[in-house]
Chains A and B, each alone.
Chain A
Amino acid sequence: MSGVPASAFLSLALILFCIGLYGALTKRNTVIVLVSIELMLNAVNINLVTFSKYGMMPNITGQVFALFAMSVAAAEAAVGLAILFALYRNKKSVNIDEMDAMKN
C-alpha cells in the first residue's frame, strides 16, 4: 500500500471525474446523469483524502471536508431523485431529450 505514489490516486480521481463529466453531458437517461454527478463528487472525495494523507502538508482537514462533501452529495441525490420522481409522474418519461416544454 505504501508503495503507491500520490499521483496514482490523483490520476484515478481525475479519470473518475472525467468519466462522470462525460456521462453527465452525454447520457439520455436522467438517472444515469445523476449517477454520473455522484461519480464526479466521489472523485473529489478521493482527491481530498489523498491530499489529506500524501499532500504537501498532510492533515485531517481533508477527510473532514470529504465527510461534508459526502453528506451534501447524498442530499443532492435525494432531492434530484425526488424531483425526477415528480417529473416522471407528470410526464411518464425520464429521458433528458424529452424535456423540451420550454423553447423560445
Chain B
Amino acid sequence: MELLNLYQNNYLIVFVFLCLGVILPVVALFLGKLLRPYKPSEAKYTTYESGIEPFHDSRVQFNVRYYIFALMFVIFDVETVFLYPWAVAYDNLGIFALIEMTIFVFMLIIGLVYAWKKKVLKWI
C-alpha cells in the first residue's frame, strides 16, 4: 500500500504539470486578446513568408531516394542492437561470440554489397 501511495504521488506531479501546461497558453492568449487592438485589413490576411510573396504550394514532396536511404538506415541501425551488448560483455563472452559476430557481420556485408550492386547507394 505504501508503494502504491508513493506511486500515485508521483503521478500527482505529472498532473500538476499537465494543468500548468494547459493553463499557460490559455491565459497568455486570453490576455493578448484583451490587450491587443483589433483592426483587420486585406494585406494582413496573406500568408507570411519572410516578407516574400508566396509563390508555390506549401506542401513539398521529398525525393523518393530519401526513403530508400531511410530504409537502409533502419536495417543497419538496428543491427547495432546485437553489436552493442556483445561489445560491452566482450571479455566474458570470449572466442565463441567473436566467431558468431564475424559470421553476423559477414552477412551484413553481403547485404551492403547487395545494396551497392542494386545501385541503392548512388544518388541519381
Given A3-B7, A5-B7, answer yes or no on A70-B81 (Cβ-Cβ < 8 Å).
yes
* Contact yes or no, B75 A3, CB < 8 A: no
Q: How far is A82 from B6 in the complex, measured between Cα atoms in Å?
A: 47
**At the interface, yes or no: A96 with Cβ under 8 Å from chain B?**
no
**At the interface, yes or no: B95 with Cβ under 8 Å from chain A?**
no
Report whether over half of chain B's contact residues are helix, strand or loop; otherwise say mixed.
helix
Q: Give every chain A residue within 8 A of B6 (Cβ-Cβ).
A: 3
Q: How far is A80 from B95 in the complex, measured between Cα atoms in Å?
A: 36
Give A residues with C-beta under 8 Å from B.
Answer: 3-5, 8, 67, 70-71, 74-75, 77-78, 81-82, 85
B75's partner among A5, A8, A75 (CB-CB below 8 A) is A75
Report whether over half of chain A's contact residues are helix, strand or loop; otherwise say mixed.
helix
**At the interface, yes or no: B18 with Cβ under 8 Å from chain A?**
no
* Contact yes or no, B78 A74, CB < 8 A: yes
The number of residue pairs between A and B whose CB atoms lie closer than 8 Å in the complex comes to 34
Closest to A3 in B: B6
Q: How far is A5 from B85 in the complex, measured between Cα atoms in Å?
A: 27
Q: How far is A77 from B74 in the complex, measured between Cα atoms in Å?
A: 9
Instruction: Sort chain B's interface into a size bin.
Output: 10 to 19
Given contacts A3-B10, A71-B79, 20 further A-B contacts (CB under 8 A): A4-B7, A4-B10, A5-B3, A8-B7, A67-B81, A67-B82, A70-B78, A70-B81, A71-B78, A71-B81, A71-B82, A74-B74, A74-B75, A74-B78, A75-B75, A75-B78, A77-B74, A78-B74, A78-B75, A81-B71
Nearest Cβ distance between residue B88 and chain A, in whole angstroms? 12
Given A3-B6, A77-B74, A78-B71, answer yes or no on A67-B79 (Cβ-Cβ < 8 Å).
no
A-B contact pairs, 14 of them (CB 8 A): A3-B3, A3-B10, A4-B7, A5-B7, A67-B82, A67-B85, A74-B78, A75-B75, A75-B78, A77-B74, A78-B71, A81-B67, A81-B71, A85-B67
